[in-house]
A and B are shown apart, each in its own frame.
Chain A
Amino acid sequence: MDNESFTDLAMRVISREATDDERRALEAEFVSAPARREEFERLKLTHDVLRATAPMAQAARAITPGLPAYRVNELRTAVRQHFGPAANRPKSRATSGGLISVLRWIFAGGGLAMLGCAVVLLCFENRSIEIGLYQTDLMRNGDKGLSAADVPSARLVAFDQDGAFDQWQNRPLAWNERAKIWVDNEHDLLHIVRRVQIGQVLTDTRPLAPTNEGQREQIKRVVEELKNQSL
């Protein structure tokens, strides 16, 4: 076998482009010319190293896509869990001094009272659940689609345009919101952004049910789940 034919055959085998016959032909070549095996191994090693690492070298230069806004809260939660809330305080607040100590002592009562009010508000607020969807989906799916009657404890928010829908999806949960849900038909996913405890918001994605009826039942179940979830 000439050099060029051997190189072509070796590369086909290494790249998993070879047929069974070609693999057997290469084995036969190793038997008749044992030095070829070393040549093959050298080529394969270079190939394996570079196929594994070259995409990583390329990744270092990536500038897109941007971080999806709906994943930001998840990352912030991880930062808080790792460093604890104290680590986020600006350094200036750690300054101590006589006057500051006195003021702190005087205002401590007011601070406590305000904290008490906040806790009461948090306990009694009406934490809402919103379901975002396109107006066209509402009209197109008719009886089979989701309606306000299916999810009385949630609020349907219908959008006409992508921009407004994207903005709604990316907006962090307001203090009085418990969760928001939307269907991602492009990727067949159901997105759920929910508050699991005070100050902690999680994002779930679940595979979307394949039919309109299935999706309606799936969303009803998720709303019930969220409604029954205690904070």
Chain B
Amino acid sequence: MWTDRDLLAALQRGDGEAWDEAFRRLYPAAFAAARHPLAALTPSEAEDIAIEALTLLLPKVKHVAEFDELRLLVITIASRKAISERRRQLAGKRGGGDLTSLDAMQDDETIRFEPAEQLLTRLSGTDLRELSQLLDAALSGLEPRQADLLRDFLMHHLPYRELAEKYRMPIGSIGVSLARGLDKIRAQLQTMPKLSKELAAYLR
């Protein structure tokens, strides 16, 4: 059984057994990240992305101070690659056609990937760790049902119709309930001005 510190040292030496162990530990996170709801890839596409993301850790391992950084790193790589892949697939399907109207732009799904891609390109492992802690804190401060609703909306990207069915709520009150939850997370985010500023800047 490896400790995280021994494992990282062995990985940096290029020990094959250590890499087997690291890949085994990191694959679930890489796969889950590759199944990012924005990308909506099939399981076999996500598997390919996850494997590629794992191999991209090899040149980065020398610059890492803790094993857990590899987990955060593989998540950012796999998510970014998954969203880029989805964008590429959609662009291919549409043949790069010109967009003419504002309404057409609203409907063009490729546009919604741009901010996400931009954000994920710059998001560091530390940012992700802080964000994860912040989300935990914010969600635990909500009433459990509202936290679950928000989790399903943010993490699983369930549409309004499914949320209304699952939570037995009128569809008209879903948006207001989600907005209240988002406001609470934003208030929490403002207690971390550096992270808040960075995230906002990436999306502009």
Task: Name which of A72-80, A97-105, A129-137, A165-173 contacts chain B.
Answer: A72-80
Q: When A43-B182, A78-B55 are in contact, do A88 and B27 touch as well, CB less than 8 Å?
A: no
Report Cα–Cα, A205/B55, bound state, in Å: 18
The contact string, 1 if C-beta is below 8 Å from chain B, for chain A 56-72, is 11111011111110011
- B176 x A54 contact (CB < 8 A): no
Q: When A62-B31, A66-B27 are in contact, do A4 and B176 touch as well, CB less than 8 Å?
A: yes
- A50 x B16 contact (CB < 8 A): no
Report Cα–Cα, A47/B150, bound state, in Å: 11
Interface size class of B (residues with CB under 8 A): 35 or more
Give min CB distance, A42 to chain B, whole Å. 7
> Which residues of chain A are within 8 angstroms of B59 by Cβ–Cβ distance?
82
Cβ of A124 under 8 Å from chain B: no
- B185 x A46 contact (CB < 8 A): yes
Cβ of B58 under 8 Å from chain A: yes
Give min CB distance, B39 to chain A, whole Å. 9
Cβ of B19 under 8 Å from chain A: yes
> Which residues of chain B are within 8 angstroms of A80 by Cβ–Cβ distance?
16
Task: Name which of A11-19, A112-120, A141-149 contacts chain B.
Answer: A11-19
Give min CB distance, A102 to chain B, whole Å. 29
Contact of B58 among A9, A49, A79 (CB under 8 A): A79
- A59 x B58 contact (CB < 8 A): no
Give min CB distance, B46 to chain A, whole Å. 10
> Which residues of chain A are within 8 angstroms of B58 by Cβ–Cβ distance?
78-79, 82-83
Contact of B14 among A9, A46, A52, A82 (CB under 8 A): A82
Q: Which residue of A has the minimal Cβ distance to B24?
A: A67
Report Cα–Cα, A11/B145, bound state, in Å: 19
Q: When A48-B116, A53-B119, A76-B16 are in contact, do A60 and B24 touch as well, CB less than 8 Å?
A: no
Cβ of A162 under 8 Å from chain B: no
Q: When A50-B182, A55-B36 are in contact, do A71 and B47 touch as well, CB less than 8 Å?
A: yes
Q: When A55-B36, A64-B28 are in contact, do A8 and B176 touch as well, CB less than 8 Å?
A: yes
Cβ of A87 under 8 Å from chain B: yes
16 contacts between A and B (CB under 8 A): A8-B176, A15-B153, A49-B200, A51-B116, A52-B120, A55-B36, A55-B38, A55-B79, A56-B33, A57-B131, A60-B132, A65-B31, A79-B19, A79-B58, A83-B58, A205-B44
Given pairs A53-B131, A65-B31, A87-B14, 10 additional interface contacts (CB within 8 A)? A15-B175, A45-B200, A46-B183, A46-B186, A53-B199, A56-B33, A56-B36, A56-B128, A75-B23, A88-B15
Please report A residues at the B interface, Cβ cutoff 8 Å: 4, 7-12, 15-17, 20, 23, 42-43, 45-60, 62-68, 71-72, 74-76, 78-80, 82-84, 87-88, 187, 189, 205
Please report B residues at the A interface, Cβ cutoff 8 Å: 13-16, 19-20, 23-24, 27-29, 31-33, 36-38, 42-44, 47-48, 51, 54-55, 58-59, 71-72, 75-76, 78-79, 103, 106, 112, 115-116, 119-120, 123, 128, 131-132, 135, 151, 153-157, 159-160, 172-176, 178-179, 182-183, 185-186, 189, 199-200, 203
